[in-house]
Amino acid sequence: MLFCFSKLKLFVTKRTILALCFTVLLYFITIDNNFLQRYFGFKKAANTIFKFTPTSDGKAFLTSAIYTNLANCERHQYEIIVNGWENHVKNNHFMCCFRLRNGKPLASMSNQKLSSILAYMPLRRIQYRCPVPVEVNLIEYVSIINDMNTTCHEDISYYVKVILSLYSKDSGIAICSLISYRSQDAAILVEWFEVQRLLGVNKIITYTQELNSDALRVLDYYESIGLAEVIRGFDMPEKGMWLTVDGQTDKYPRKIGDQNKRQWTDKEVVSLDCNARLLGFRYVIICDKDELVVPNISKFGFSLRKSLKVENIGDELGILNNKKIKGYQIREWAK
C-alpha cells in the first residue's frame, strides 16, 4: 500500500511539474519575447521607426526613398521613389538632390510626380520619381526641392536615406495592412495573421501608432518569424499647436481613426509608402485587419497564388476590384 502511494505521489508530482513548466513557458511566450529569441532562434524584430523629414524649401515632408529597377517598364531606367506629403505647389517640375556615399552632392530634374485625388488639399500625399544619374549603390541620401529659385541644401537633416524595396523570389504575395493603432484587438490580430499564412501570403507590412502592448507583442512575433514588417510610431506633420491671433490652435487637426479628408490623405501616404516598399512582389493587396481576400476555395483550395495566376490578375492593387476573387470582412466569417 505504501509502494502504491509512493508511485501515486510520484505521478502527481511529475504532472504538477509538467503543468508548472507549461505555465512558465506560456508566460515567456506571451509576455517575454526575449525568451523566444534566445531559446527558439527567432530573429529579433527590426524595430523600424517611422519618420517624416521636412525639405529645405518647406514644400514637402518625406517619409521614404526607395530604389526600384524599372528597366522592364516604359521608361527603361532606374529610379528612386520618394514618398510623403506636399504643401500644394503649382509647378510639376522639381529637383532631386542626391548625396553620394563619398559625401559629394548631385542633382537631377524630374517632372514625374503622383499626387492625390484630393490634390486640392493644403497638405496632400505625393510620390516623386527621381531618375538615377549614376550607379545606385553610389547614392546614400536624397531630398526634393519644389522651389526652383533655391538649390540643394548641404544639411543632411533635410535628406532621407535610400533603401531597397523588399524582394520575393517566386512571384510572392504581399499585403499592405496600413495602420494598427490604440485598441486593436490582439486576439483578432492573431486570427487575421494566421488566415493570411493559410492563404499563402508571404509578407505583410503594417504601421503602428499608440498601439496597445498586447497587440504589439503579436506584431513582434510575426515580425520575428519573417512574415511581418512593422514600421512603428506613425505620425503626421503639421498637426501640432500653432500660435494665432486667437491663441493656440491646430493647423491641420486630425488623428488616426477620424473619418475626414485630412485623415484619408494621411492613409494615402501610408498606402504609397507601403506599396513602394513592396515593389519586389508580384502581387500587392491593400486591406485592413478586418478584411480578407479569399480565392474560390472549391477550385483552388486555400491557395491565393493559384487563383491569381489562373484568373490572370497582373496589376498591383487590382485584386479587390476583381469579381472572381471574394473580399470579406471578419464579421462576415460566420455567415
CA atoms within 13 A on the CB side of 275: 20
Report pLDDT for 8. 41
pLDDT mean across residues, the chain: 79
* Residue 251: per-residue pLDDT: 74
* End-of-domain residue from the set 137, 164, 191: 164
Judge if 86 and 217 occupy the same domain.
no
Q: Do residues 256 and 320 share a domain?
A: yes
Residue 290's domain comprises 173-300+314-326
Beta strands of the chain (E only): which ranges? 48-49, 53-54, 60-70, 77-87, 94-100, 105-110, 113-115, 123-131, 139-145, 160-164, 173-181, 203-209, 228-232, 241-244, 247-250, 283-286, 291-294, 326-329
In this structure, the answer to whether residues 67 and 103 fall within a common structural domain is yes
Cell of 9: 505521489
For position 142, which CATH number holds?
Answer: 2.60.40
Q: Are residues 214 and 133 in the same domain?
A: no
User: Cα(253)–Cα(250) distance, rounded to whole angstroms?
Assistant: 5
Question: If pLDDT is split at 50, 70 and 90, which confidence band does 332 have?
Answer: very low
Give pLDDT, residue 246. Answer: 56
Q: 317 pLDDT exceeds 60?
A: no
Residue 113 lies in a domain: yes
Q: Are 190 and 289 in contact (CB under 8 A)?
A: no
CA distance 112 to 318: 22
**Residue linked to cell 537631377:** 108
The predicted-structure confidence for 217-274, as pLDDT tens digits, reads as follows 999 999 999 999 999 999 999 886 555 555 556 677 788 778 788 888 899 999 999 9
Q: Are 312 and 281 in contact (CB under 8 A)?
A: no
pLDDT digits (tens, 9 = 90+) for 15-55: 543 444 444 344 434 444 444 344 333 344 457 999 999 99
In terms of Cα–Cα distance, which of 252, 189, 183 is closest to 221? 189
Which pLDDT value is given to residue 241?
56
149 vs 1, more confident: 149
pLDDT bracket for residue 115 (50, 70, 90): confident
pLDDT at position 189 over 70: yes
Question: Residue 40 domain-assigned?
Answer: no
Residue 323 pLDDT greater than 90, yes or no: no
Interacting residues of 192 by C-beta distance below 8 A, sequence separation 6+: 289, 290, 292, 330
* Selection from 284, 276, 277, 288 nearest residue 317 by Cα: 284
Looking at the 3D structure of the chain, how many domains does it have? 2
The residue with greater pLDDT, 104 or 314, is: 104
Q: Which of 141, 164, 187 is the last residue of a domain?
A: 164
Give 91's pLDDT tier (boundaries 50, 70, 90): confident
The predicted pLDDT at position 26 comes to 45
Cβ pair 258, 73 in contact under 8 A: no
The confidence score (pLDDT) of residue 253 equals 78
**Domain membership flag for residue 226:** yes
Q: Are residues 230 and 260 part of one domain? A: yes
Q: Residue 280 carries which DSSP code?
A: B
Position with higher pLDDT, 263 vs 278: 278
Same domain for 158 and 248, yes or no, is: no
Domain boundary among 164, 196, 211: 164
- The whole-number pLDDT of residue 311 equals 62
